[in-house]
């Protein structure tokens, strides 16, 4: 009986698969037929219109043959379509130009890698790119592809690969900015790139996710899963935590909604990897706005798993009907302390995620922040409950050896056991907190959210101090002359034996240490420089690392070096292209901000021209032309103002008033341009920042940002004896008075922004925040988002 029942289940599954396949084929045929019918209808309508006579001169003439005219129109359409979709291919002499926040994607059906988009900021101007590059590892060759209908320039977008139809790359979202980064635009368009034909197609849907950058996507079965990201309106950056599913067969977006208590918090720049069972989410970055306090950037290190249940007895039993999030515990040797700007890519052969780099920001006070950059490598087991392991290069064994090796090994063994003990205590604490979260009610969780955030911050700071202390202890131990290179220690933790490779720090001054530094076989010398936002991809068992960002002395260096690492051997990195830091140019933003309006009107994409306005026109982008026709009476009246009666004035009086108004307008524009430069100066005092509205702020947003400051001023002035609501009302009056002083300048800035390349509605929502153009290190850096 059991076998019969099992056979029945197999037959039922086979029928379900056959029904699903038939439905997909019918859907594809229907879609193709509908598209062809629409094209033919348009061509027929055009043919009929062009075939009819017009005017008296055409009366009595024989109409053009409809069949002949239709064939000509069809041929014209084919030629036009071919011109719009023509692909230009070029072989390059080396890797692409330096850039950050691009995508680096492994080909799903081959060994190639695809790099798309990105941006480059040199300290003064930002360039955004729309390029598409293919790297062939077997030939060590780069090629570029372009077509008239490709997506416009962007960065912080996302691309995922699916294997159907010879390989497809799905692109969604991203951002574009003017060269001075005074105005931003976020995309919400979806594109698909055919690897076989190298052509782009824009996917139009009625329902779709909102515009965003910094989100992440993962391909799971026939679906593309999207989560999170941010939207920067200028005055404030809003982080998102909505989740969407796109069906690549039905071409439909669906938003996932579930229990909000068991749901990842808003974030951007996280890791999002696919497994056969679901999607793993790790880490990310968010800015938290605390009432009455300064905005704080927080690096996240939590882990979540998104899974689904299928339909059972539904017509399509394999379709997901419910999606659920579950929080995972951190187990093993995870990245510690927490860091942002890490990059984790899928190592499919081992069902693992490989993570590199990142940055940890520690704010000592409101004026000082220390940033520590990382170059260590980790792996995360995606299956089961997940486990972190540290990936270290294997040191070559030395022939012979000096005395004292046994003592050094014993010392390292004890240190490794101590590190394992501390890690076990951290895991037990993590498990205890996890169980408390599971047992607690939703009301208690919501009420204690602030306390948990404070506790997380204390744990994070404690972890940073412990990590630094551990590194100092390791440095002291490694300074011993008796230490051997290439040693390793095996410890047992949680029933699993883990081998820890001893890493030898640089810069110790004794003779044996200097001799080891001169060792050309030392694999640590091949490790890439510390960085964050590196681009990673894995093909087969080889890790590819391209570029990233490193900061020093208030300078931001965008690198373009290129490395490979055989993950199956873990012997050494191979550098395919070097990037000397001293060769990277950095142009400090000058004080001559009067050129902002001119420079911002230029295209931000140095390699793709004005593709944002091409046929692949992007949602929300509209370039405003400046008409300079002759002035009529209405134009003169508009220039001179409503209180001036133009008809009663002589031409000489009108000309004098016009010159006066033009001079006033020029003076106002100079003040506005100077103010735009001052607003981006992070060296201003806190009082100056709070007492001055930002470009793009209205009265309400200005007061919301600075109400505590104005309430204190109202109380300190002695003119107000009010308390509570009355005191806030007095503070609002002071803020309103200050805002009215700057209102003409703010309105002129809006006009400058509109002329810089964005429509007026978008310019009003785009404010230049302090430090946004400088892109300097720390929380002011836009790359931290």
CATH number reported for the structural domain that contains residue 188 in this entry = 2.120.10.80
Q: What angle do CA 560, 561, 562 make, to 5 degrees?
A: 120
How far is the CA of 717 from the CAs of 213, 678, 690, 691, 711, in angstroms? 44, 27, 17, 15, 10
Phi (first) and psi of residue 250, to 5 degrees: -95, -10
* Confidence class for position 709, pLDDT limits 50, 70, 90: confident
Do 205 and 253 touch, CB atoms closer than 8 A? yes
Tokens of residue 258, six digits: 């579930």
Which pLDDT tens digit goes with each residue over 322-377? 889 999 999 999 999 999 999 999 999 999 999 999 999 887 666 677 889 999 99
pLDDT of res. 639:
54
- Any domain includes 276: no
Judged by DSSP in three states, 617 sits in coil
CA 697 – CA 701 distance, rounded (Å): 6
Which pLDDT tens digit goes with each residue over 532-543? 999 999 999 999
Do 586 and 409 touch, CB atoms closer than 8 A? no
pLDDT of res. 568:
94
Tokens of residue 426, six digits: 């951290």
Of 177, 204, 231, the last residue of a domain is 204
* Confidence class for position 544, pLDDT limits 50, 70, 90: very high
Of 526, 504, 528, the C-alpha closest to 516 is 504
Top mean-pLDDT range of 76-80, 217-221, 649-653, 726-730: 217-221
* Of residues 747 and 763, more confidently modeled: 747
pLDDT of res. 402:
47
Of 391, 253, 342, the C-alpha closest to 535 is 342
CA 639 – CA 651 distance, rounded (Å): 15
* Of residues 203 and 465, more confidently modeled: 203
- Any domain includes 585: no
Number of domains comprising the chain: 2
Of 172, 204, 236, the last residue of a domain is 204
Of 622, 616, 613, 610, the C-alpha closest to 203 is 616
CA 773 – CA 40 distance, rounded (Å): 50
pLDDT of res. 179:
86
Pairing of strands 223-232, 190-194: unpaired
The region of weakest confidence among 37-51, 73-87, 309-323, 457-471 is 37-51
Which pLDDT tens digit goes with each residue over 370-404? 889 999 999 999 998 999 999 999 887 765 554 45
Q: What angle do CA 289, 293, 297 make, to 5 degrees?
A: 45
Q: Is pLDDT above 80 for 774?
A: no
- Any domain includes 570: no
Tokens of residue 763, six digits: 């310019």
- Any domain includes 713: yes
* Confidence class for position 624, pLDDT limits 50, 70, 90: very low
Do 385 and 353 touch, CB atoms closer than 8 A? no
How far is the CA of 557 from the CAs of 13, 548, 577, 586, in angstroms? 55, 8, 16, 8
Q: What angle do CA 17, 23, 29 make, to 5 degrees?
A: 135
What percent of the chain stands above pLDDT 70? 62
Q: Is pLDDT above 80 for 783?
A: no
Per the document, the length of the chain is 785
Residue linked to tokens 């692409």 = 96
Residue linked to tokens 């239709």 = 70
CA 714 – CA 709 distance, rounded (Å): 9
What's the domain range around 199? 88-204
- Any domain includes 555: no
The region of weakest confidence among 258-262, 304-308, 740-744, 749-753 is 749-753
- Any domain includes 734: yes
The region of weakest confidence among 58-62, 153-157, 323-327, 579-583 is 58-62
- Any domain includes 133: yes
If phi > 0 it is left, if psi is from -120 to 50 it is alpha, else beta; for residue 469 that is: alpha
Mean pLDDT score, 297-308: 93
Mean pLDDT score, 561-581: 94
Judged by DSSP in three states, 123 sits in coil
CA 227 – CA 273 distance, rounded (Å): 12
User: pTM of the entire structure?
Assistant: 0.61
Tokens of residue 517, six digits: 């530094």
Do 254 and 280 touch, CB atoms closer than 8 A? no
Which pLDDT tens digit goes with each residue over 194-245? 999 999 999 999 999 999 999 999 999 999 999 999 998 766 789 999 999 9
Tokens of residue 252, six digits: 């439909």
pLDDT of res. 295:
78
- Any domain includes 299: no
Of 501, 521, 494, the C-alpha closest to 424 is 494
Of 204, 221, 237, the last residue of a domain is 204
Mean pLDDT score, 457-476: 58
């Amino acid at each position: 009986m059991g076998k019969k029942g099992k056979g029945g289940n197999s037959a039922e599954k086979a029928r379900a698969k056959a029904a699903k396949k038939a439905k997909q084929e019918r859907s594809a045929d229907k879609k193709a037929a509908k598209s062809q019918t629409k094209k033919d209808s348009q061509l027929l309508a055009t043919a009929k219109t062009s075939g009819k006579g017009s005017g008296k001169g055409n009366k009595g003439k024989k109409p053009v043959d409809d069949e002949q005219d239709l064939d000509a129109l069809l041929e014209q359409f084919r030629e036009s379509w071919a011109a719009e979709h023509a692909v230009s291919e070029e072989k390059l002499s080396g890797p692409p130009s330096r850039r950050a926040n691009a995508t680096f994607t492994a080909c799903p059906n081959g060994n190639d890698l695809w790099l798309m988009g990105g941006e480059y900021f040199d300290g003064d101007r930002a360039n955004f790119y729309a390029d598409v590059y293919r790297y062939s590892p077997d030939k060590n060759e780069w090629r570029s592809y372009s077509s008239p209908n490709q997506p416009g320039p962007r960065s912080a977008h996302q691309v995922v690969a699916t294997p159907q139809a010879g390989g497809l790359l799905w692109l969604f979202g991203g951002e574009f900015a003017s060269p001075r980064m005074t105005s931003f635009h976020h995309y919400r368009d979806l594109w698909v790139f055919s690897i076989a034909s190298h052509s782009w197609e824009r996917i139009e849907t009625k329902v779709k996710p909102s515009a965003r950058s910094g989100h992440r996507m993962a391909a799971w079965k026939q679906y593309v899963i999207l989560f999170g990201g941010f939207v920067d309106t200028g005055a404030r950056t809003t982080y998102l935590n909505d989740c969407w599913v796109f069906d690549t067969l039905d071409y439909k977006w669906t938003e996932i909604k579930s229990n909000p208590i068991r749901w990842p918090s808003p974030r951007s720049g996280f890791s999002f990897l696919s497994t056969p069972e679901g999607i793993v989410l790790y880490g990310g970055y968010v800015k938290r706005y605390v009432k009455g306090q300064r905005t704080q950037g927080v690096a996240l290190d939590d882990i979540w798993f998104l899974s689904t249940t299928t339909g059972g007895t539904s017509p399509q039993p394999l379709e997901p009907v419910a999606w659920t999030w579950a929080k995972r515990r951190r187990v093993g040797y995870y990245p510690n302390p927490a860091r942002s700007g890490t990059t984790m890519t899928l190592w499919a052969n081992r069902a693992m995620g490989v993570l590199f780099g990142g940055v940890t920001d520690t704010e000592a006070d409101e004026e000082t922040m220390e940033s520590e950059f990382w170059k260590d490598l980790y792996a995360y087991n995606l299956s089961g409950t997940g486990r972190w392991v540290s990936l270290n290069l294997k040191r070559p064994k030395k022939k012979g050896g000096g005395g004292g090796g046994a003592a050094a090994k014993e010392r390292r063994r004890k240190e490794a056991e101590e590190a394992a003990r501390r890690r076990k205590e951290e895991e037990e604490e993590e498990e205890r907190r996890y169980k408390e979260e599971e047992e607690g009610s939703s009301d208690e969780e919501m009420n204690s959210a602030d306390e948990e955030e404070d506790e997380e911050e204390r744990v994070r700071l404690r972890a940073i101090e412990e990590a630094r202390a551990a590194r100092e202890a390791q440095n002291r131990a490694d300074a011993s002359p008796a230490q051997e290179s290439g040693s390793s220690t095996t410890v047992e933790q949680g029933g699993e034996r883990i081998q820890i490779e001893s890493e030898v720090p640089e810069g110790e001054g004794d003779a044996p240490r200097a001799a080891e530094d001169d060792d050309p076989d030392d694999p640590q010398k091949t490790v890439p420089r510390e960085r964050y936002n590196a681009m990673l991809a894995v093909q087969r068992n080889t890790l590819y690392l391209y570029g990233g960002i490193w900061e020093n002395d208030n300078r931001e260096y965008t690198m373009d070096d290129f490395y490979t690492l055989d993950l199956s051997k873990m012997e050494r990195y191979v550098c395919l292209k070097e990037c000397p830091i001293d060769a990277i140019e950095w142009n400090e933003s000058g004080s001559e901000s009067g050129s902002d309006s001119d420079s911002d009107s230029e295209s931000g994409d140095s390699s793709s021209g004005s593709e944002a306005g091409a046929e692949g026109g992007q949602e929300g982008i509209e370039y405003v032309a400046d008409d300079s026709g002759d002035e009529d009476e209405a134009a003169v009246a508009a220039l001179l103002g409503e209180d001036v009666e133009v008809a009663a004035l002589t031409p000489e009086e009108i000309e004098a008033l016009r010159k006066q108004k033009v001079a006033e307008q020029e003076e106002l524009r100079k003040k506005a341009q100077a103010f735009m430069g001052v607003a981006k100066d992070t060296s201003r005092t806190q009082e100056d920042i709070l007492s001055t509205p930002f470009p793009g702020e209205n009265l309400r947003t200005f007061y919301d940002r600075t109400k505590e400051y104005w309430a204190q001023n109202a109380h300190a002035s002695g003119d107000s004896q009010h308390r509570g609501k009355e005191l806030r009302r007095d503070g609002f009056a002071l803020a309103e008075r200050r805002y009215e002083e700057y209102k003409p300048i703010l309105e002129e800035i809006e006009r400058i922004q509109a002329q810089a390349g964005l429509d007026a509605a978008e310019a009003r929502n785009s404010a230049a925040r302090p430090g946004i153009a400088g892109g300097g290190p720390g929380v002011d850096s836009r790359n931290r988002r």
